[in-house]
Amino acid sequence: MAADEPLVLGIETSCDETGVGIVRGTTLLADAVASSVDTHARFGGVVPEIASRAHLEAMVPTIERALKEAGVSARDLDGIAVTSGPGLAGALLVGVSAAKAYAYALGKPLYGVNHLASHICVDQLEHGPLPEPTMALLVSGGHSSLLLAPDITSDVRPLGATIDDAAGEAFDKIARVLNLGFPGGPVIDRLAKEGDPASIAFPRGLTGPRDAPYDFSFSGLKTSVARWIEAKRAAGEEVPVRDVAASFQEAVVDVLTRKAVRACKDEGVDHLMIGGGVAANSRLRALAQERCERAGIRLRVPRPGLCTDNGAMVAALGAEMVARNRRPSDLELSADSSLPVTEPHVPGADHGHGHSHDHDHVHEISKDNLYS
Ligand code: KG4
Ligand code: ZN
């Protein structure tokens, strides 16, 4: 760790985790997370108002905890990075406001960064600098995309994405149908280990010869699993929860890994990065490893704790912004609930406003459907 590498604090509040991370270059110094997930669990999904209030309460203590853990003073920071989107508008606003206040009070540059690019950049903390271009499979509660990033700070290109549900959303919805609670991913992952993934042949969406090679669809799978469960219940039979979990999970990770490996081959990229909450899934990690090995592709997946939302990932991308002399954001930085994946960061006004879509904070929020 070189002392001249940028020391950056990152704040993440796009959903239900208040995350504050501190990194020096690509070295992780602190990763403090306060989660309100237990408060949401009884509602079966993230309740935006509750998340915002929890962020507000956790913000300052979590920043202080991170500084203490890293053993650095706020005065030594070279920059403050914050997730400015996409995510829940009210939740994002708490992090953005905090970051602006700290940046202003300490006289430090502010970097509003993209949550999705952060999920990719975090792997630098574990496996060193990302190759360029990076091929990334991004799978979270709100997004499922295949991205080709020649430069994670400035150039992220979507090759394909889900046309309906995100992978994590599918896990959460199937868990709800099985009465397994929220969030669904971890519990399905656990139960699937004791089930037979080949016991039920659930459909693999968008894998026909005429289908878009890099797009995903999980809503047909979700309906198919729900119908299968309903039929069992209607017949008065017991639902084999472990087999359903294993077979459903297999259908999701089969398609994700197949398409990701294909994208690497087509684009001539010899490695694959997997990021986002669903990248914590043990079967996705194992199958990706198996298929990548067979195809001569190097797999990079951060440890599970860095896959789900955290502040370290934001700090990692912020440090990269500083290292590459990217223009800081100005204090007018606002939360943008639908910040496109193509904008890794939101530079200050002098560079123009990167994108032209409206900044209306009340339009559709990707994660709101968790609560529907
Ligand atoms: O990246 P993330 O923490 O938040 C978003 O940006 O959305 O992802 C959350 C999603 C949830 O849908 C959760 O069920 C899923 O990631 N998830 C998992 C696992 N751990 C979290 N899905 C499958 N297997 C897991 N082990
Ligand atoms: Zn996320």
**Which of 162, 164, 168 shows the shortest CA–CA distance to 141?**
168
Q: Which atom of ligand 1 is nearest to the CA of 169?
A: 12
Task: Tell me the HSE value of 347 on the side-chain side, using a 13 A CA sphere.
Answer: 14
Q: Which residue has the tokens 């430090």?
A: 108
Taking the CA of 140 as reference, the closest ligand is 1
DSSP code of residue 329:
B
**Which of 372, 312, 14, 314 shows the shortest CA–CA distance to 182?**
372
pLDDT of residue 3: 73
Confirm if 16 and 35 have CB atoms less than 8 A apart: yes
Whole-number Å distance between alpha carbons of 134 and 148:
6
Q: Is ligand 1 within 6 A of the CB of residue 15?
A: yes
Q: For residue 268, what are the contacts with CB-CB under 8 A and spacing of at least 6?
A: none
pLDDT in tens, 232-247: 999 999 999 999 999 9
Q: Which parts of the chain have pLDDT scores under 50?
A: 351-372
Q: Is ligand 1 within 6 A of the CB of residue 79?
A: no
Which CATH superfamily, name and number, covers 131-302?
Answer: ATPase, nucleotide binding domain (3.30.420.40)
Q: Is ligand 1 within 6 A of the CB of residue 217?
A: no
Taking the CA of 314 as reference, the closest ligand is 2
Whole-number Å distance between alpha carbons of 293 and 180:
34
Q: For residue 264, what are the contacts with CB-CB under 8 A and spacing of at least 6?
A: 135, 270, 271, 272, 292, 295, 297
Whole-number Å distance between alpha carbons of 167 and 144:
6
Q: Is ligand 1 within 6 A of the CB of residue 19?
A: no
Length of the chain: 372
Q: Is ligand 1 within 6 A of the CB of residue 189?
A: yes
Taking the CA of 141 as reference, the closest ligand is 1
Spans of all domains in the chain: 7-122+310-369, 131-302
β-pair partners for 24? 7, 27
Q: Which atom of ligand 1 is nearest to the CA of 249?
A: 23
β-pair partners for 80? 9, 110
Nearest CA to ligand 1 atom 13: 185
In three-state secondary structure terms, 231 is helix
Instruction: Give helix 89-106 / helix 48-70 axis angle, nearest 10°.
Output: 30
| CATH value of 7-122+310-369 in 3.30.870.10, 3.10.20.30, 3.90.550.10, 3.30.420.40 | 3.30.420.40
Q: For residue 227, what are the contacts with CB-CB under 8 A and spacing of at least 6?
A: none
Whole-number Å distance between alpha carbons of 116 and 279:
13
Nearest CA to ligand 1 atom 23: 185
Q: Is ligand 1 within 6 A of the CB of residue 229?
A: no
Q: Is ligand 1 within 6 A of the CB of residue 7?
A: no
